[in-house]
Amino acid sequence: MRLLATTALMATALAGATLADGHATLPLKELPGIADRDYWVPGEVNAEGKLEALQAVVGSDAVAFSGTLDNPVQIALIYPSADTSDFWARNYLALTKRLDQLGIAYETTEFASRQIEHSLQSTYANQVAQDADLYDYVIFGPSELAIQADNIDKLAANDGFSTYVWAFHTPLKTLENQPDAWFDFSSAAGALTMCEYMIERLGEGVTMAMNRGIPGITDNQRSGDFKDCVETKAGWTTVYEHYGEYQREGGFAGTSLILQAYPEANIIHNANTAMAMGSVEAQVAVGKEKDIFSTGWGGTGLELDAIRRGELDATPMRMGDDVGAATAEAIKADLEGRADALPLVFLGRITVAHDQMSAEEIDALEQEAFRFSGVGALER
């Protein structure tokens, strides 16, 4: 490793020992449905109190790094940041600004792709693994968890750097090498939060269509769990499900088809920002944006602006900067030899932003969510 720090060697040794011991005994406890899943949920792998402790740290003012560094830490980021969603860019900003607050010098190398460019991510993962001596931390945002499982395993097996996974919170049971930590928002929890809100607002017996993402864990939770919840609890009917691959074009195409072939659907559920933006674009093009109740996912700046314009109606809103800030705190803990205090899975908070909120309420949510990356749509 290029990093030389007064606390770094001790921290790395402690983190490695904790990692081996902790993962050898996973799960720490069993929750309902564990036998039916090929992954663990956070409650099965997080020791009592560790998640809450890190959430409290992330929501508080920064406390400076207690050690010294001879060189900046080297961070590689492999993620689909070339997509429409500003989740990646915002958490990059949150990561770096929190590191600045903590007094940790760093240099970053970014390997960007689109979410459908699975092979390109594999190429990047191989490159970073081969150049392990250049990096101290690798942040990997998989295009899809199952597709990138081998690359996660490969990166986590490398003892030249610590590996953190962004945008997933379901450690796969099949991994021989678990990464040091996972940072995400719970899509399952967000789906249930959105379900309760939608039923309370729209009632029972509603007809819905969906723009789903890519088959896999994320879409199973964002789309599948939401669908199961509204159908079971309120008797909703789903007339069509379009797989838009998390792309703006997919949301546009799916919505255009829904408007033409399924006019009875008065709700369109979108599984990410990009598809939501394509969906409202298709509705605006034919003057239907006031007739359709449209949802997004994540509460990004683009989605909030669409809510303000009256084009998007509701979205499960992540306190978006939590992931990047928590990753910075994890780096600090690792450098200080406290990696064993970290949860294996960090989760940020989710609430619902919607068009019935006042401007002041939306502004307050946005200020909290984007306290590091800034309010308003990012420059692309």
How confident is the model over 176-188, as pLDDT tens digits?
999 999 999 999 9
Residue 229 lies in a domain: yes
Does one domain contain both 247 and 123? no
Supply the pLDDT for residue 380: 54
Does one domain contain both 132 and 168? yes
Supply the pLDDT for residue 115: 84
- For residue 27, whether the previous peptide bond is cis, meaning omega lies within 30 degrees of 0, is yes
pLDDT band at 59 (very low <50, low <70, confident <90, very high): confident
Supply the pLDDT for residue 258: 98
Amino acid at 19: L
Does one domain contain both 95 and 202? no
Distance in angstroms (rounded) separating the CA atoms of residues 147 and 293: 33
14 or 42, which is more confident?
Answer: 42
Are the CB atoms for 270 and 293 separated by under 8 Å?
A: no
Say which CATH number the domain at 161 has.
3.40.50.2300
Supply the pLDDT for residue 9: 31
Residue 169 lies in a domain: yes
Q: Is the pLDDT of residue 17 over 80?
A: no
Q: Is the pLDDT of residue 5 over 80?
A: no
Distance in angstroms (rounded) separating the CA atoms of residues 149 and 177: 10
pLDDT band at 262 (very low <50, low <70, confident <90, very high): very high
Does one domain contain both 179 and 192? no
Residue 73 lies in a domain: yes
Supply the pLDDT for residue 13: 31
Are the CB atoms for 185 and 318 separated by under 8 Å?
A: yes
- Over residues 310-361, the pLDDT tens digits come to 999 999 998 889 999 999 999 999 999 999 999 999 999 899 999 999 999 9
Q: Provide the domain limits for residue 286.
A: 188-297
Are the CB atoms for 7 and 337 separated by under 8 Å?
A: yes
pTM of the shown model: 0.75
Does one domain contain both 34 and 122? yes
pLDDT band at 1 (very low <50, low <70, confident <90, very high): very low
Are the CB atoms for 270 and 339 separated by under 8 Å?
A: no
Does one domain contain both 126 and 252? no
- Over residues 123-152, the pLDDT tens digits come to 999 999 999 999 999 999 999 999 999 999
Which residues, including other chains, have CB under 8 Å from residue 235's CB and lie 6 or more apart?
204, 205
Last residue of a domain, one of 297, 330, 359: 297
Residue 380 lies in a domain: no
pLDDT band at 22 (very low <50, low <70, confident <90, very high): very low
Supply the pLDDT for residue 301: 86
Supply the pLDDT for residue 19: 42
CA terminus-to-terminus distance, the chain? 33
Query: How large a percentage of the chain has pLDDT more than 90?
Result: 84
pLDDT band at 377 (very low <50, low <70, confident <90, very high): low
Residue 288 lies in a domain: yes
Does one domain contain both 149 and 100? yes
Which residues, including other chains, have CB under 8 Å from residue 4's CB and lie 6 or more apart?
69, 70, 71
Beta pairing, strands 181-184 & 345-347: parallel
Supply the pLDDT for residue 84: 62
Q: Is the pLDDT of residue 378 over 70?
A: yes
Does one domain contain both 179 and 212? no
- Over residues 68-84, the pLDDT tens digits come to 999 999 999 999 887 76
Does one domain contain both 171 and 196? no
Q: Is the pLDDT of residue 21 over 80?
A: no
Does one domain contain both 57 and 155? yes
The mean-pLDDT minimum among 14-23, 169-178, 201-210, 281-290 falls in 14-23
Distance in angstroms (rounded) separating the CA atoms of residues 118 and 96: 26
Residue 373 lies in a domain: no
Distance in angstroms (rounded) separating the CA atoms of residues 120 and 126: 10
Q: Is the pLDDT of residue 56 over 80?
A: yes
Amino acid at 104: I
Distance in angstroms (rounded) separating the CA atoms of residues 72 and 20: 27
Residue 358 lies in a domain: no
278-291: average pLDDT: 97
Helix (H, G, I), strand (E, B) or coil at 290: coil
Distance in angstroms (rounded) separating the CA atoms of residues 205 and 117: 39
Which residues, including other chains, have CB under 8 Å from residue 189's CB and lie 6 or more apart?
347, 350
Largest CA distance in the chain: 65
Does one domain contain both 56 and 150? yes
Does one domain contain both 134 and 71? yes
Q: DSSP class of residue 379?
A: P
Q: Is the pLDDT of residue 10 over 60?
A: no
**Number of domains the chain contains:** 2
- Over residues 213-246, the pLDDT tens digits come to 999 888 999 999 999 999 999 999 999 999 999 9
Residue 286 lies in a domain: yes
Supply the pLDDT for residue 18: 36
Supply the pLDDT for residue 4: 38
